[in-house]
C-alpha cells in the first residue's frame, strides 16, 4: 500500500473549495455566464446566435481586397459599372453605357449589384452587399424549410449550421457574383411551396429566373417534391390525378414563368438591345449550349470539372490568393497565403455526401419523411441534369455549380447524424471536424 493511502484532505481545505465555487457563481460574471449557458437551451436564441455569427463571418473584412476583384466579380462588377455608365476595367470596357453587357444571364443580379454601387460607391463593400443579404436569406430559408417539414427547431439549427459553415456557401455569400443571388429566391420559393403558398412561391422562383436561368432546376425540385409526396397516394388509389390535385403545382409553374417572362421583358426594355425576351432567351440557351470543356488529360489540369468530381471536392478553383514570400538574402525560406478564396466545399461535407445521400434516399423510402423527401427532390433536381450533361455532352462545368446542392447535402448529413444510431462521440466528433474543415478553408489566414 502506498504511503499516502490513508491521507485525508483537511476539512478546512475541503470546505474552502465549495465556497470558492459558490463565490464565482454568485459574482456578476458568474451570473452572466450561467444566464448565457441557460439561454443556449432555447432554440430561438441559438438560431439567432447562429445567424449573427454567420453574418459576422460574411461581413468581416468585406472590402478586402480593397481594389482587387474576386473571381467572376470581374464580369459582374464591370457589368454593373457599364449599367451605371461608369468606366469599366478589363471586361466590357468598350460596351455601350446604360446597357447590361453580360447578356448570357438576365439582368436582375447585375442590377442589384449596380444599385448597391450607386448607393455606396464603387468599392468592395458595395460590390458584395447584395450577396451578403442573399446569403443570410438563404440560411433563414433553409431553417424554415426544415421546420415546415415538421422537424424540430434543433434539427433545423443543425442543418442551417452545416450550410453556414460550408466554405462554398461562405465564399459566395460574400463575393459579388450571381450564384448566391439566384439560390436565395430559389430556397424561398421552395419554402413557400412547402406551405402551399403557390402564388408567392411562383413569384420567388420567377425572381430567381431573372438572376440566372439555372433556377429552372429549383422549379423541377418543387414539382418533383410534389410528385414524391402526393404520387404514392394516387398510385395506391389507382387514380389519375385531376385538376384539383394539380392546381397548386400547375399554378406555381405558370406564375413562375409569367413572372420570369414579364420581368425579362421589362429588364430588356431598360437594359438591353434585344427586340424581344424570346431573342434574349435564345441567346442565353445557345451561349450555355456552346460552352465546351477543354480537351485535356490528367486530374484537374484546368479549372473545369465533371459533376462526379464535385462530391469528392476535386478540381477546386483559386478565386483569389495573396501570398507572402519570406527571404533571407536571395534565398526563399517560406511562402504562405494571407488571403485564399477557394471554390471548394467544406471537405467534411463533401466526404459525407455519398453515405448521407444513400442513407437519406433509404430513409425517405422507408419512412416517407417529408424532410428526407425534400432533400432527395432538391438534390436530384439540382444534380442529375448536370450529371447527364457531364456524361453525354462536352459542356464545361465547375465545382461552384454544386452550391445549390449544399442544403440537400446538409439535410442528408443531419439525418445521418441523428437517425442512423451513431454513437454520440461519433456525432460530436464529426461536427468538431466539420468546424476544423471550415477554419482550414477560411479565406483570411491572418488579420488584413
- The structural domains of the chain, with segments of one domain joined by +, span 45-441
Q: What are the strands, taking DSSP E only, across 260-386?
A: 317-328, 331-343
The DSSP output letter for 401 is G
The predicted pLDDT at position 334 comes to 83
Helix or strand (DSSP H, E) at 38: helix 28-39
Sign of the C-alpha dihedral computed for residues 30, 35, 40 and 41 taken in this order: positive
Residue 430, pLDDT score: 98
Kindly give the pairing relationship between strand 317-328 and strand 331-343.
antiparallel
Q: Which residue has the cell 485564399?
A: 340
Contact 375, 367 (CB under 8 A): no
pLDDT of residue 335: 84
Nearest alpha-carbon partner for 136 in 109, 166, 170 = 170
Quick one: angle between helices 405-419 and 153-164, nearest 10?
A: 130
Written as nine digits, the cell of 26 is 454568485
H/E element holding 113?
Answer: helix 108-120
| Predicted local confidence at residue 14, as pLDDT | 53
Q: What is the pLDDT of residue 1?
A: 44
Spatial neighbors of 342 by CB under 8 A, at least 6 apart, are 167, 171, 316, 317, 318, 319, 441, 443
With beta carbons less than 8 A apart as the criterion, state whether 315 and 300 touch: yes
Q: Are 91 and 74 in contact (CB under 8 A)?
A: yes
pLDDT at 139: 99
Q: DSSP letter at 69?
A: P
**φ, ψ of residue 240 in degrees (nearest 5):** -85, 130
Cα distance between residue 21 and residue 73, in whole Å: 55
DSSP state of 149: T
Mean pLDDT split into 10-residue runs, the chain, 448 residues: 48 58 65 71 95 98 92 97 95 95 98 98 98 99 98 98 99 98 99 98 99 98 96 79 84 98 98 95 95 84 93 96 86 86 98 98 97 98 97 96 99 98 98 98 92
pTM flag (> 0.85): yes
Amino acid at each position: 500500500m502506498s504511503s499516502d493511502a490513508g491521507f485525508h484532505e483537511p476539512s478546512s481545505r475541503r470546505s474552502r473549495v465549495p465556497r470558492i465555487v459558490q463565490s464565482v457563481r454568485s459574482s456578476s460574471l458568474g451570473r452572466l455566464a450561467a444566464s448565457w449557458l441557460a439561454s443556449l437551451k432555447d432554440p430561438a436564441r441559438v438560431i439567432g446566435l447562429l445567424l449573427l455569427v454567420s453574418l459576422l463571418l460574411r461581413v468581416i473584412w468585406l472590402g478586402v481586397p480593397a481594389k482587387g476583384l474576386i473571381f467572376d466579380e470581374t464580369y459582374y462588377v464591370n457589368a454593373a459599372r457599364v449599367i451605371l455608365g461608369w468606366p469599366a476595367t478589363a471586361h466590357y470596357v468598350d460596351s455601350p453605357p446604360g446597357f447590361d453587357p453580360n447578356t448570357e444571364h438576365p439582368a436582375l443580379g447585375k442590377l442589384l449589384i449596380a444599385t448597391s454601387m450607386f448607393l455606396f460607391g464603387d468599392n468592395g463593400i458595395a460590390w458584395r452587399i447584395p450577396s451578403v443579404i442573399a446569403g443570410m436569406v438563404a440560411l433563414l430559408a433553409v431553417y424554415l424549410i426544415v421546420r415546415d417539414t415538421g422537424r424540430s427547431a434543433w434539427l433545423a439549427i443543425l442543418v442551417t449550421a452545416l450550410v453556414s459553415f460550408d466554405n462554398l456557401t461562405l465564399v459566395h455569400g460574400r463575393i459579388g457574383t450571381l450564384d448566391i443571388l439566384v439560390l436565395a429566391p430559389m430556397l424561398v420559393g421552395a419554402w413557400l411551396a412547402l406551405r402551399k403558398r403557390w402564388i408567392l412561391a411562383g413569384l420567388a422562383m420567377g425572381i430567381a429566373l431573372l438572376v440566372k436561368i439555372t433556377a429552372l432546376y429549383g422549379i423541377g425540385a418543387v414539382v418533383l417534391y410534389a410528385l414524391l409526396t402526393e404520387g404514392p397516394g394516387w398510385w395506391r388509389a389507382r387514380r389519375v390525378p385531376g385538376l384539383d390535385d394539380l392546381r397548386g403545382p400547375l399554378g406555381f409553374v405558370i406564375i413562375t414563368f409569367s413572372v420570369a417572362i414579364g420581368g425579362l421583358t421589362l429588364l430588356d426594355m431598360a437594359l438591353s438591345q434585344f427586340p424581344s425576351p424570346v431573342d434574349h432567351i435564345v441567346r442565353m440557351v445557345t451561349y450555355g449550349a456552346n460552352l465546351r470543356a477543354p480537351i485535356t488529360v490528367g486530374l484537374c489540369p484546368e479549372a473545369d470539372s465533371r459533376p462526379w468530381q464535385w462530391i469528392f471536392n476535386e478540381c477546386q478553383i483559386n478565386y483569389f490568393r495573396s501570398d507572402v514570400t519570406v527571404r533571407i538574402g536571395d534565398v526563399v525560406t517560406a511562402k504562405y497565403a494571407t488571403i485564399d478564396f477557394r471554390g471548394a466545399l467544406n471537405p467534411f461535407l463533401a466526404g459525407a455526401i455519398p453515405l448521407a445521400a444513400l442513407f437519406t434516399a433509404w430513409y425517405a423510402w422507408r419512412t416517407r419523411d417529408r424532410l428526407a423527401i425534400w432533400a432527395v427532390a432538391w438534390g436530384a433536381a439540382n444534380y442529375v441534369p448536370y450529371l447527364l450533361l457531364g456524361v453525354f455532352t462536352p459542356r464545361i462545368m465547375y465545382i461552384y455549380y454544386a452550391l445549390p446542392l449544399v442544403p440537400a447535402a446538409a439535410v442528408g448529413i443531419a439525418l445521418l447524424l441523428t437517425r442512423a444510431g451513431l454513437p454520440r462521440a461519433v456525432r460530436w466528433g464529426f461536427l468538431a471536424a466539420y468546424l476544423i474543415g471550415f477554419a482550414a478553408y477560411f479565406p483570411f489566414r491572418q488579420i488584413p
